[in-house]
Chains A and B, each alone.
Chain A
Amino acid sequence: MATQEVQLNETLTHLKTESETLKTKLEEERAKLHDVELHQVAEKVEGLGQFVMKTRRTLKGHGNKVLCMDWCKDKRRIVSSSQDGKVIVWDAFTTNKEHAVTMPCTWVMACAYAPSGCAVACGGLDNKCSVYPLSLDKNENLAAKKKSVAMHTNYLSACSFTNSDMQILTSSGDGTCALWDVESGQLLQSFHGHAADVLCLDLAPSETGNTFVSGGCDKKANVWDMRSGQCIQSFETHESDINSVRYYPSGDAFASGSDDATCRLYDLRADREVAIYSKESIIFGVSSVDFSLSGRLLFGGYNDYTINVWDVLKGTRVSILFGHENRVSTLRVSPDGTAFSTGSWDHTLRIWA
């Protein structure tokens, strides 16, 4: 018995050493092909002129902190969720509220619009992701038609429909991501690899449409294959929790925003971090990031109530936008790139253009 334990401890030490050696080797391999920095390549690119963006709409109606929002494919409708359990569907153009649902839990941290525009998904402290079909009958109680799809063992941090209304991808505080079939509620695939809460995810706009990226409290951003459940790439350069990940429009890279007050760009083909967007004067964490349609601009919502606009290629800050009266918790560019929307702990949402 004793010899067996000694053997195991030896194995443990041996494996630890091997793990460290491999990690170092991996970094060396990655560095070998890094022959130029992004800002060097971008020197020949024209600089961006004066940048003017203003709040064009303010959506008031939530009674508490706005935690998450998503655009509808029709480019003008929005779904948003807040700490008091309310989920509201707005026509952001007219600022009218079209639907409202009260969830049975507080802190609804995730919400998503279905591609067809006929349903929304949301979840949070209830550890579940539920789908509500949207009905135009004003008298109909939306909550009655609710469908429980995903079930985790800890809070739901993010959710997203895949290419259709039939499948949902979720991430959770239990450290896993999962793919669910909406119709049956069946778990189609689960993704293990994060060592702590997973806070965000984004689907790749690639040709084969089979991968997604997730970011977590373990400072890692992992790229997953949806079909096999395997983690195909992993990046660990942030110094704190990763709150938001978003793919570059071409699908060849993704950006991340973290509590360490930086946004970083990771290239998937080069398999490394290629840019850091930070300033000494920015000390508060980034809660949410998104690209403009061409990928030239990166918008970041920060915990110091501001939005910083970065030139992705040159690495410089183009503009800083003020308006919210509390931290910006969520930020998404509209599907046609005409505007972006932010949600904040000041109970409002703003549309900027």
Chain B
Amino acid sequence: MTINTLAKEGWNREQMACFRKMEKVIVAMQDPDMGMKMRNQRLLITVIPHAMTGVCVCVCACMSALHIGNMLVKYGYIYPLKEPRSLVLRPDESPYRFQTPYFWTSTRWPASELDYAIYLAKKNIRKQGELMEYEKERYSVLHKRINHTWDFVVMQAREQLRASKQRRKADRIVLECQEQAYWLINRAPVCSLQLCSSLYYISKLCYTIETCKRALGRNRVKSSICLEGFVKYSEQYLNHDPIMQGCLPSNPWISDDTAHWTMNTETVTIPTRLRVERWSFSFMKLLNDSLGRQEFMTYLEKEFSGENLCFWQACEDVRHGESSKIIEKVEEIYKTFLAPGAARWVNIDSKTMDKTLEGIRRPHRFVMDDAQMHIYFLMKKDSYPRYLKSDLYKNMLAKAIVPQETKKSVFPFMRRQRHASPSPAQVVTHGVEEDGHAKGGGQAGTNSGGGSHV
């Protein structure tokens, strides 16, 4: 159904059906469970509540998102907080707000001349020269036409301005935006809707240009350096790649013997040599291995800097845990690690600390990111290299197991019995580990053959 150009007064029935459809979309978008994510948006220095970004609008409207979104803006159901005159939906971080139903087109609020006059008068009184050219023209036309009630107009305007001054600045801005949006629709300076599709392509091109500009600003590394990196990585991990070099005592899929897995479970007491070697390849490898992390913690505690790793783990928990627990977890972190005089205070530079403390006032999933990274890199550059040189690590490496290779069975046709293993899903009934990882997955029923303990 096509929507024709705006009529000067009133809307015909066909258009009304369309507005009702748009209104259904708008209501759905504001549904607290399924609707859009709204948050406080900064507009200069004021925080506007319940605003959303242009991109979020596109998510909800989806198919030909930008087109529908543009329609919603054009008809005033959504209005932009910045550049209110530009009734275009930008698929970026520009803030928008839903128009209050009071101002919805279908409620047929009589956009009478009197109301328009009061609106213009308010604008004029508030700030001289704020009226646009076409508004100035209309103002003088109205002044002539309803001159007999002009006193009333000015009085009303003054009253409304006085009342609005009583409100909080954020509310005031919102109301002003709502009103402005409404009048931009109902007394629009330009009308044609054929502009919509051009606007759509323009916004799409703007997006491409923005992406290109950002890409041009990137720092690139020379190919020779990057590609050398691949060669080095492959060399370093060659012995650790079972498909390339085989694995000890044997590859379970080939020999039907699960000894390899048994020796490499998360909670094994004595790890294999290859595993301990991997801890020296990168800090991330050490932290990703629960046994490695445990060893590193032991080392840090000897150095009285164990709180760094504890802090890092707590931050990971916030980032990857349940949304509902974020606030309480952040509170806990603050009390334990960041508050002045905290039991396990971590040493973060003042700039990051200030930023983090500020963010804690409105905790969200990523509020600890900067602090977490700071501590991560601190450990990586300082404690980690020293750990690798420490006796603790060297001893672990020395006593690590190097399994003996299992020779292929003498009778190749006799297949070993393949043992089942306890399912990780079983853990649920016994209580899940803190970080939700499966306990001892892949343990075979019996350990038949293979593996000597040196």
Contact = CB atoms under 8 A, between A and B. Distances in A.
A173 to B, nearest CB: 11
B224 A227 contact: no
Given A74-B441, A271-B218, A56 B254 contact: yes
B109 interface: no
Nearest to B365: A188
A227 B369 contact: yes
B421 A117 contact: no
A53 interface: yes
B37 A36 contact: no
B230 A312 contact: yes
Contacts of B222: 33, 35, 270
A347 interface: no
Interface string B57-91: 01100110000000000000000000000000001
A120 to B, nearest CB: 10
Contacts of B418: 93-94
A18 interface: yes
Interface string B309-345: 0000000100111111000000000000000000000
Contact of B428 (A4, A12, A118, A252): A118
B454 interface: no
B366 interface: yes
A186 interface: yes
B227 to A, nearest CB: 4
A292 B241 contact: yes
Interface string B209-225: 10111111010111111
B45 interface: no
Interface string B185-208: 000001110110011011001111
A254 interface: no
B64 to A, nearest CB: 11
Nearest to A185: B33
B244 A134 contact: no
A252 B323 contact: no
A72 B253 contact: no
Interface stretch (A22-30, A62-70, A321-329): A22-30
Interface in A219-244: 227, 229, 231-234
B106 interface: no
A58 to B, nearest CB: 12
B195 A8 contact: yes
A287 to B, nearest CB: 20
B243 A337 contact: yes
Contact of B228 (A9, A22, A41, A338): A41
Contact of B427 (A117, A227, A297): A117
A77 B423 contact: yes
Interface stretch (B120-128, B152-160, B231-239): B231-239
A72 B241 contact: no
Secondary structure call for the A interface = loop
B425 A117 contact: yes
Contacts of B201: 12
B421 A19 contact: no
Given A15-B205, A74-B424, A297 B243 contact: yes
Contact of A75 (B216, B261, B320, B366): B261
Interface residues of B, number: 95
Given A93-B418, A250-B233, A270-B222, A8 B199 contact: yes
Contact of B320 (A36, A56, A163, A294): A163
Contacts of A151: 34
Contact of A166 (B33, B234, B322): B322
B373 interface: yes
A97 interface: no
Interface in A325-353: 333, 336-340, 351, 353
Nearest to A234: B211
Contact of B220 (A44, A178, A271): A271
B420 interface: yes
Interface residues of A, number: 108
B221 to A, nearest CB: 4
A297 B244 contact: yes
A60 interface: no
A164 B253 CA distance: 28
Interface string A149-169: 001011000000011111100
A95 B291 CA distance: 30
Given A93-B421, A186-B37, A292-B243, A274 B192 contact: no
A178 B223 CA distance: 32
A19 B208 contact: yes
A248 B420 contact: no
A118 B436 CA distance: 9
A338 B202 contact: no
B394 interface: no
Contact of A248 (B58, B208, B230, B427): B230
Interface string B232-265: 0111111011111001000111100010110010
B376 interface: yes
B224 A35 contact: yes
Contacts of B209: 15, 18-19, 22
B221 A269 contact: yes
A135 B192 CA distance: 60
B359 interface: no
B229 interface: yes
Given A41-B230, A117-B441, A312-B230, 5 more contacts: A41-B227, A135-B425, A154-B63, A162-B320, A339-B243
Interface of A: 1, 4-5, 8-9, 11-12, 15-16, 18-19, 22-23, 25-26, 29-30, 33-38, 41-42, 44-45, 48, 53, 56-57, 72-77, 91, 93-94, 96, 98, 115-118, 133-136, 151, 153-154, 162-167, 174, 176, 178, 181, 183-188, 190, 192-193, 205, 207-208, 227, 229, 231-234, 248-250, 252-253, 267, 269-272, 274, 292-297, 312-313, 333, 336-340, 351, 353
Q: Can you list the 6 inter-chain pairs with the closest CB atoms, starting with the nearest?
A: A117-B424, A74-B441, A294-B237, A294-B241, A164-B320, A22-B212
28 contacts: A5-B195, A12-B205, A18-B209, A22-B209, A22-B212, A33-B222, A41-B224, A41-B227, A72-B438, A94-B418, A116-B432, A117-B425, A117-B427, A118-B427, A134-B423, A181-B322, A186-B37, A188-B323, A190-B55, A248-B230, A274-B226, A292-B244, A293-B242, A295-B237, A296-B238, A338-B242, A351-B253, A353-B243
